[in-house]
Amino acid sequence: MNRSKFYIDGAWVDPVAPSALGITNPATEEIFAEVSLGSPPDVDRAAKAARRAFAVYSATSVEQRLGWLHAIIDGFRARLPELARMMTLEMGAPITFATERQATVALFHFEEAARVLASYRFEERMGSGIVRREPIGVCGLITPWNWPLNQVASKVAPALATGFTIVLKPSEVAPLSAMLFAEIVDDAGLPAGVFNLVNGDGPIVGEAIAAHPEIDMVSFTGSTAAGIRVAKLAADTVKRVAQELGGKSANIILDDADLKTAVTQGVHACYTNAGQNCQSPTRMLIPRGQREAAFAAAREAVAAIRPGDPLDPATTMGPLVSQAQFEKVQRLIRSGIDDGATLVAGGIGRPAELNRGYFVRPTVFGDVNPQMKIAREEIFCPVLSIIGYDTEDEAIEIANDTPFGLAGFVQSGDVGRARAVANRIRAGRVYFNGAPFDRSLPFGGYKQSGNGREFGVFGFEEYLEVKALVGYGD
């Protein structure tokens, strides 16, 4: 497969200065495709195309935009198996997970955007005038590799619904599913220049997007360090910046919870997507007196995990995305051992039955001190830290003792008690008792986990300016 072109101004075009990049299958460590990295002139061409298209597209009717959204939805459904398989190849998501979660939840964002758009009030009476909501302009979207289509869709869908035009940079690690998505957008018949895609890395293409004077807003998902850089570059042109950054979510299991159920759910939630999930509950807080029972439940849950060939429908955990990520995780697991945490399950190296690919052993550490590196850094892999506490107040203090605030988890037999604890957790989302991920509710972080919100009507409004028409009359 060779995907050397970019999608700009309604056509697939050659890069200004081609620079080949091989895409590695993380399960085999072999290059299976090639793309070209872009450069600032490619971003400039895309941004100017988006600027030209904005005047026309921002004036389209709700009915027209609904028509395009539904055409994308139809195209997405038709190609869902192909999209899922591509994500399996480019970032290692097991094919069953890639189909049922990675691709399906990406589709949901377009369905949700269409639902919100159909009834959204862009104008309303207020005081002596009218409050009107209008698209900000051209948006630069910079997305990560861990949920490659979900993160694209969660940004593109509300941007298209609200009348934005777009310059998208998918992750250079996993760009191919986004390129298939660009084909779906092309088939949907959007006006030329409304959607543009330029491949490239963060330091060159990402920074060019953040700094470009024709781009009015940047929506970024990625590391906190990269998010800080994006915000600084965007400041010179006073762009709106929306960011979903790192996380180190705590899972507080209260003493009235069903411990085995709570621990089992917590392990599997931590290991979702091979732990490459920004809101993963990687810190499990348990009553100190339930230590042995929690360790036993965690070992049993880990034993049910099935690492292996991600193209096998029975596989439940694929590889990490890259050699760099694999090596980082090995260092962090070693640090947990060296710092004196109890190795409950897993450890250094690959699972015994696998001799290639960036697979890691699903790992659980117990007796973790909240100040250990494994309890403070976002590891982004299937490594769980179990931390003991004596009182509810101590558990909440430990949960909040982090620079991040993306998500929290509370397990309890008493809904009122769980809510009281959740209200004290400094995070943008809190899940109760294994609740599923609801994409109609707002998603975003406190503190260094970012700013702004995605999903549903809250994500919709992230892309809108507010205009007051004062004394407009009747």
Whether 366 is covered by a domain: the verdict is: yes
Provide the CATH number for the domain around residue 81.
3.40.605.10
How many domains in the chain?
Answer: 2
Tell me the per-residue pLDDT of 22-60, one tens digit each, with 9 for 90 and over: 999 999 999 999 999 999 999 999 999 999 999 999 999
- 146: nearest Cα among 216, 244, 61: 244
As averages over each run of 10 residues, the pLDDT of the chain (474 residues) reads 89 97 97 97 98 98 98 98 98 98 96 97 93 97 97 97 98 98 97 98 98 98 95 97 96 98 97 96 97 98 97 98 96 97 97 95 98 94 97 98 97 96 97 88 96 94 95 72
pLDDT recorded at residue 2: 66
Whether 474 is covered by a domain: the verdict is: no
Count of Cβ atoms closer than 10 Å to residue 196 Cβ? 31
Query: Cβ distance 148 to 87 under 8 Å?
Result: yes
Clarify whether 139 is annotated catalytic.
Answer: no
Give the contacts of 236 (CB within 8 A, at least 6 positions apart): 211
Tell me the per-residue pLDDT of 407-427, one tens digit each, with 9 for 90 and over: 999 999 999 999 999 999 999
Same domain, 108 and 236: yes
> What percentage of residues in the chain have a pLDDT greater than 70?
99
Q: Which of 244, 378, 454, 462 is catalytic?
A: 244
Whether 443 is covered by a domain: the verdict is: no
Count of Cβ atoms closer than 10 Å to residue 172 Cβ? 19
Same domain, 365 and 323: yes
Whether 214 is covered by a domain: the verdict is: yes
Please, which residues bridge with residue 33 across strands?
23
Continuous segment of H or E residues that includes residue 65: helix 62-78
Clarify whether 278 is annotated catalytic.
Answer: yes
pLDDT recorded at residue 343: 98
Q: What domain range includes position 157? A: 2-245+449-469
Whether 39 is covered by a domain: the verdict is: yes
Sheet order of strands, 250-253 included: 342-345, 363-366, 383-389, 283-287, 250-253, 407-411, 429-432
Same domain, 221 and 263: no
Same domain, 233 and 285: no
Whether 127 is covered by a domain: the verdict is: yes
Same domain, 279 and 143: no
Provide the CATH number for the domain around residue 320.
3.40.309.10
Q: Which of 278, 378, 381, 454 is catalytic?
A: 278
Question: How far, in Å, are 51, 82, 145, 438 from residue 120 at the CA level?
Answer: 25, 33, 31, 20
pLDDT recorded at residue 405: 97
Whether 62 is covered by a domain: the verdict is: yes
Same domain, 290 and 222: no
Query: Cβ distance 255 to 288 under 8 Å?
Result: no
Query: Cβ distance 446 to 248 under 8 Å?
Result: no
Same domain, 195 and 283: no
Whether 149 is covered by a domain: the verdict is: yes
Query: Cβ distance 412 to 441 under 8 Å?
Result: no
Query: Cα 256 to chain center, whole Å?
Result: 32
12 SS3 class = strand
> Is the whole-model pTM more than 0.85?
yes
Same domain, 75 and 134: yes
Query: Which two structure tokens, joined as six digits, stand for 413?
Result: 């037999």
pLDDT recorded at residue 1: 56
Give the contacts of 355 (CB within 8 A, at least 6 positions apart): none
Same domain, 306 and 231: no
Same domain, 197 and 326: no
Same domain, 409 and 261: yes
217 SS3 class = strand
Name the one residue in this structure whose structure tokens are 């072109």. 5
Same domain, 396 and 427: yes
